[in-house]
Amino acid sequence: MSTQTARLEVPTSGQIYRNLPTALLVEESLARNEGVLAANGALSVGTGDRTGRSPNDRFVVDTPGIHDDIWWGKVNVAVDEATFDKLYDKVKQHMRDRDQFVFDGFAGADPSYRLPVRIITEKAWHSLFARTLFVRPSAEELASHEPEFTVINACMLEADPTTDGTRTGVFIVVNLERRIVIIGGSQYGGETKKSIFAVMNYLLPARGVLTMHCSANMGRDGDTALFFGLSGTGKTTLSADPGRRLIGDDEHGWSDDGIFNFEGGCYAKVIRLSEEAEPQIWNAIKFGSVVENVVMDESRVIDYDDDAVTENTRVTYPVEHIDNCVIPGVGGHPKTIMFLAADAFGVLPPIARLTPAQAMFHFLSGYTAKLAGTEAGVTEPTATFSACFGAPFLPRHPTRYAKMLGEKMEKHGASVFLVNTGWSGGPYGVGERMSIHHTRALITAALSGELDRVEYENDPVFHFAVPKSCTGVPTEVLTPRNTWDDKSAYDAKAKHLAELFVKNFDQYRSEASEEVITAAPRI
């Protein structure tokens, strides 16, 4: 890596604001009409027509030094260096006559593995977003900070697909050899966060660190737990447990020393957020937080139930806004791992214990379900499979991460549970959403060891072990078939979901061991 790349700057005739503190970034955002203050003190912003990530507009520059390492295809779409250079020139030209906001910090709470990053933005609130989400350096660390990866977020610049080699006006282009990410055409804050997550997913496995799309917390005795899951499955909600200390809500590494958070903040969905069900997140939304695309009344009180702008309403806040968080965000080797799935088919049990082989199968599957009405043409629950619970962020082949997880689980004796945070008593539209109180009781029982001392029964389709009792949870809820009025309808739906699992796993079959292959549902 060249010094020139590490010290990357974008020349401008405007003002450069370097590492402004939170209060000044809020002031700049308000002065520039980028947002308004909500009643709870958070900065409320809109992201235009892009209210979520644009995964189909993400590209990786194909260079000889990385070509053989990348999982090329739909997730990692290749562009050549000439295409990157053309877009990079447009980004630099766009930024030349604009004020710029620069944030210098780190991805990674463990100094042994952290990545020094520089985030250059044209909007003040994007710099506040970066300051909130990444690890903030001390004054001493900032004085000697040498960025090793730079993100340039030119959000108001749109590409021309006819000449720039893009699909739309949006582009997120990762150049791993030159250590630059350029972003344009989207104001959605998550693009900056996830671009660096993808970078960490490329760099750290080569150093023996498993990178994970999961949340993590710690018990009073120091025991660490991980919560894997796709968006909307409950990673942030369930890891923000008043009885445990939060390490992080979304991105972690697992090294030979234990786990560590990649971030210095949390990025949570807030649609239908309630103070009663999620008090820690509710109380974390205050001055220094950024809420995206929420609806407010005339008094600027946020209506978290209103999805008029998007279902994907979001908040970002420093991890310190969570009471009793772990600073720095490091922990020991995990004792318990949870795979979260919001099963809208209503056939998975609220919790099941997995064998190591089943854990590998379900990690590669990364299952959850889309609900009817969330996308045009979706009229009934639709299965979604995302390898390692984070396929859009994996530069390397999923089996690389799965193999590392298996090795670390075996070495450190971690127990794995599959948790259904979705529906019970029928599919979406018929059954009811799993009670969060029951889910929390089941997770508490798994973490405390209570579920090690109860009887189990084998699920006849998925063949994982389902507990027959748990404190605080009605017995009939534990076996999903018992919650359905129409047992034959349950059997048909369970068979259908099992078939979808098997079909999805075909893409990994040639790379999987016989033990993992036989852990699939039997249909």
- Over residues 220-227, mean pLDDT: 96
For 356-371, b where at least 16 C-beta lie within 10 A, e where not — what string?
A: bbbbbbbbbbbbbbbb
Residue 132: per-residue pLDDT: 98
Active site residue 194: yes
- Please pick, among 57, 62, 110, 250, the residue that the annotation labels catalytic: 250
- Residue 182's DSSP bridge partners are 152, 173
For residue 486, give the H/E element and its range: none
Active site residue 18: no
Residue 374: pLDDT band by 50, 70, 90 thresholds? very low
Helix, strand counts (H, E) of the chain: 15, 30
Give the chain's domains with CATH numbers.
3-207 (3.40.449.10), 268-321 (2.170.8.10), 334-517 (3.90.228.20)
Active site residue 411: no
Percentage of the residues of the chain whose pLDDT score is greater than 70: 97
Active site residue 164: no
How far is 149 from 178, CA to CA, in rounded Å? 8
Active site residue 231: yes
Residue 371: per-residue pLDDT: 62
- Please pick, among 98, 131, 193, 194, the residue that the annotation labels catalytic: 194
pLDDT at 378 over 70: no
pLDDT at 372 over 50: no
For residue 358, give the H/E element and its range: helix 356-365
Active site residue 168: no
Active site residue 495: no
Residue that is written with structure tokens 């199968």 in the block: 361
pLDDT in tens, 88-121: 999 999 999 999 999 999 999 999 999 999 999 9
Residue 7: per-residue pLDDT: 55
Taking alpha carbons only, the member of 172, 136, 168 closest to residue 153 is: 172
Quick check: 157 and 90 in contact, CB under 8 A? Answer: yes
pLDDT in tens, 248-281: 999 999 999 999 999 999 999 999 999 998 999 9
pLDDT in tens, 295-337: 999 999 999 999 999 999 999 999 999 988 999 999 999 999 9
pLDDT in tens, 400-437: 999 999 999 999 999 999 999 999 999 998 999 999 99
Residue 454: per-residue pLDDT: 97
- Over residues 282-290, mean pLDDT: 98
Task: List Cβ neighbours of 420 (8 Å cut-off, separation of 6 or more).
Answer: 341, 342, 343, 348, 349, 350, 351, 434, 480
How far is 61 from 67, CA to CA, in rounded Å? 9
- Please pick, among 83, 127, 231, 368, the residue that the annotation labels catalytic: 231
| More confident site: 1 or 514 | 514
Helix orientation angle between 190-203 and 124-133, rounded to the nearest 10 degrees: 40
- Please pick, among 58, 178, 193, 213, the residue that the annotation labels catalytic: 213
- Please pick, among 50, 53, 335, 370, the residue that the annotation labels catalytic: 53
pLDDT in tens, 343-354: 999 999 999 999
How far is 225 from 166, CA to CA, in rounded Å? 41
pLDDT at 451 over 90: yes
Task: List Cβ neighbours of 40 (8 Å cut-off, separation of 6 or more).
Answer: 285, 286, 301, 302
Residue 523: per-residue pLDDT: 80
Radius of gyration of the chain from its Cα atoms, rounded to whole angstroms: 23
| More confident site: 5 or 469 | 469
pLDDT at 6 over 70: no
pLDDT at 366 over 80: yes
Residue 376: per-residue pLDDT: 45
Quick check: 193 and 201 in contact, CB under 8 A? Answer: no
Active site residue 235: yes
Look over the chain and give the mean of its residue pLDDT values, rounded to a whole number.
94
pLDDT at 5 over 60: no
Residue 173: pLDDT band by 50, 70, 90 thresholds? very high
For residue 322, give the H/E element and its range: none
Residue 379: per-residue pLDDT: 52
For residue 73 the two structure tokens come to: 């295809």
- Over residues 38-66, mean pLDDT: 96
- Please pick, among 54, 186, 236, 313, the residue that the annotation labels catalytic: 236
pTM confidence score: 0.94
